[in-house]
Amino acid sequence: MQELDPTILQKANSWLQGNYDADVKQEIQKLIDDKAYTELTDSFYRDLEFGTGGLRGIMGPGSNRINKYTIGAATQGLANYLKKTYPGEKIKVAIAHDSRNNADFFSTITAEVFSANDIYVYFFKALRPTPELSFAVRHLGCKSGVMLTASHNPKEYNGYKAYGADGGQFVSPHDKAVMDEVAAISSIDDIKFNRVDANIEEIGEDIDELYLSKITELSVSPDAIARQKDLKIVYSPIHGTGITLVPQALKRFGFENVILVDEQITPDGNFPTVVYPNPEEKEALTLALKKAKETDADLVLATDPDADRVGIAVKNTDGEFILLNGNQTGAMLINYLLTAWEEKGKLTGKEYIVKTIVTTNLIERIAEAKNVTYYNTLTGFKYIGELMTHFEGKQTFIGGGEESYGYLIGELVRDKDAVVSSAFIAEMTAYYKDKGSSLFEALIDTYVQYGFYKEKLISLTKKGKTGAEEIKEMMEKFRTNPPATLGGSKVSTLKDYEKRIETDLATNTSKPIELPVSDVLQFITEDGSIISARPSGTEPKIKFYCSVNGKLESKETYSETDKNLDAKIASIMQDLGV
């Protein structure tokens, strides 16, 4: 039988003896009585920390779980940080939540703790998308904001995204400062839970109206939409917040034929029709694809529970629906935006786009061809937001995104935005249809013009304390003993973002990486393949991003070239032992 680490029992006992609710104590005592030591260990072996996406975890009792007290401690720590950062000022924050179980309860707890700390709260009275929260922070002049969501995680999860005054998630050194304040909450008695009604104001429809009207102003091809207004679009919010704004955004852009997936339009934290509410997973789009086939749709859109990510499906040349991955959609959006801006004479030389280091380099090739500046950031949209804030008023952000299905067009928010992205994916589809093409054919044309870039993401799940240790060991092994060849091509460059060093392995010379520290390794081969290894900041996973490329001679050779690139990816993954 597994032994229980005494420090775990000591931590559990501190909750049993503390000023916690009786039902929480009862759950903890039951774990002890039932000798459920694995679950008890996972519940208490650490305190939840802010990762690339803030605070996220499984709901339940314990310091490593999402519950009233970890949410309360995070909020009290954030309140303390804000009061130290803005002394003597009247501090305002905005709070929203998605459709997850308990999200409304946790958002209320968050509002109550802020209000008890004499911080004024703008409280969305019903569920709303994450990007609207970012918009509200900026529009209402808040110093911070909180979104209660676990994005696309399974139903057992919930989370807490903390935002700064620019509407972006906290970045260094502020994220560390908030973490330090949260860590300084040594007792439940340090948390002020007593609500002050005068400090809480409900918001909703007024912000919706402003946000939607400003999104609509961003449209680049309204003339193409007017001619293609009957474009058939199937949309699913996958039981999430997208239903509140995405259909409205599509309507305002001018689309009159939006077909909803009825079985998935009701917000529900149990996500009853899917295994995972993640538009990256084909299974999550099953019902949407069925509806698309029934209605002979042009486009399928599906957003995750907090509507910051969007997955799409389009028809191939055989009339079959295929899913585009995040790299393909992101590259197509950038190509469309830069082309449309160019055609309208809007490119002045001051525009830029942004992607992350694990997102397809096809985007770089397109930007170079259009003579538009591009930047790379670390993984996590908060870094894109940080760059946008840095350039605000000096350069114009056209768009950007990351391979994990998150994109942003325009400068209204500082986070990935599936509301504006859905509208622009529809606009892009209308633009190409207006030219007698389809989104799939436009993708193949892009490959012929700039090179066929193909990416694949492999995620290995390693749960709990032992899983975290395994992931650490894997990264250490790759660091100390990097592969010499991958997919039959010599590894020429090693980029270690934790050490912030790029090494040319042929000459054994190094140069610094001008990005913040992050636990990421990249292997670049002589033939231009890029393989990135990165532990997730929000999930118990290690992720391997593989990007290969080749020349696509013509549309006719697409299938053959596609198979060759697939084989190359398989060979690389075999070499890595993944």
Which residue, 338, 352, 362, is CA-closest to 396?
352
What digits encode the pLDDT tens for the residues 235-271?
Answer: 999 999 999 999 999 999 999 999 999 999 999 999 9
Domains and CATH numbers, the chain: 46-203 (3.40.120.10), 210-217+228-450 (3.40.120.10), 452-576 (3.30.310)
Which residue, 444, 440, 442, 432, is CA-closest to 555?
444
What digits encode the pLDDT tens for the residues 193-241?
Answer: 999 999 999 999 999 999 999 999 999 999 999 999 999 999 999 999 9
Is the pLDDT reported for residue 54 higher than 80? no
Residue 179: which pLDDT band, with cuts at 50, 70 and 90?
Answer: confident
State the average pLDDT over residues 365-386: 96
Catalytic residue among 43, 134, 144, 151: 151
Q: What is the DSSP string of 279-338?
A: TTSGGGGHHHHHHHHHHT-SEEEEE-TTSS-EEEEEE-TTS-EEEE-HHHHHHHHHHHHH
Mean pLDDT of the chain: 95
- The owner of tokens 């069925």 is 290
- Tell me what pLDDT residue 118 has: 98
- Helix (H) or strand (E) run with residue 455 in it: strand 452-461
Residue 538: which pLDDT band, with cuts at 50, 70 and 90?
Answer: low
How far is C-alpha 55 from the geometric centre of its chain's CA atoms? Answer: 13
- Tell me what pLDDT residue 578 has: 85
- Tell me what pLDDT residue 51 has: 56
What digits encode the pLDDT tens for the residues 118-163?
Answer: 999 999 999 999 999 999 999 999 999 999 999 888 999 999 999 9
- Tell me what pLDDT residue 466 has: 86
Residue 339: which pLDDT band, with cuts at 50, 70 and 90?
Answer: very high
Q: What is the pTM of this model?
A: 0.95
- Token code pair at residue 84: 């130290």
Q: CA angle, corner 188, sides to 30 and 50, nearest 5? A: 90
Residue 53: which pLDDT band, with cuts at 50, 70 and 90?
Answer: low
What digits encode the pLDDT tens for the residues 290-304?
Answer: 999 999 999 999 999
Q: Which of 139-148, 249-258, 328-337, 467-476 has the lowest mean pLDDT?
A: 467-476
Report the alpha-carbon distance of residue 203 to residue 442 in Å, rounded: 42
> Is 159 in contact with 57 (CB distance < 8 Å)?
yes
Is the pLDDT reported for residue 1 higher than 50? no
What digits encode the pLDDT tens for the residues 271-287?
Answer: 999 999 999 999 999 99
Report the alpha-carbon distance of residue 207 to residue 36 in Å, rounded: 47
**Residue 186: active-site member:** no
Taken in order 148, 153, 157, 160, is the CA torsion positive or negative?
negative
Give the list of residues 6+ apart from residue 112 with CB closer than 8 angstroms, or none: 193, 194, 195
Residue 2: which pLDDT band, with cuts at 50, 70 and 90?
Answer: low
What digits encode the pLDDT tens for the residues 82-115?
Answer: 999 999 999 999 999 999 999 999 999 999 999 9
Residue 485: which pLDDT band, with cuts at 50, 70 and 90?
Answer: very high
Give the list of residues 6+ apart from residue 325 with CB closer than 8 angstroms, or none: 280, 403, 455
> Is 365 in contact with 374 (CB distance < 8 Å)?
no
Q: CA angle, corner 499, sides to 494 and 504, nearest 5? A: 25
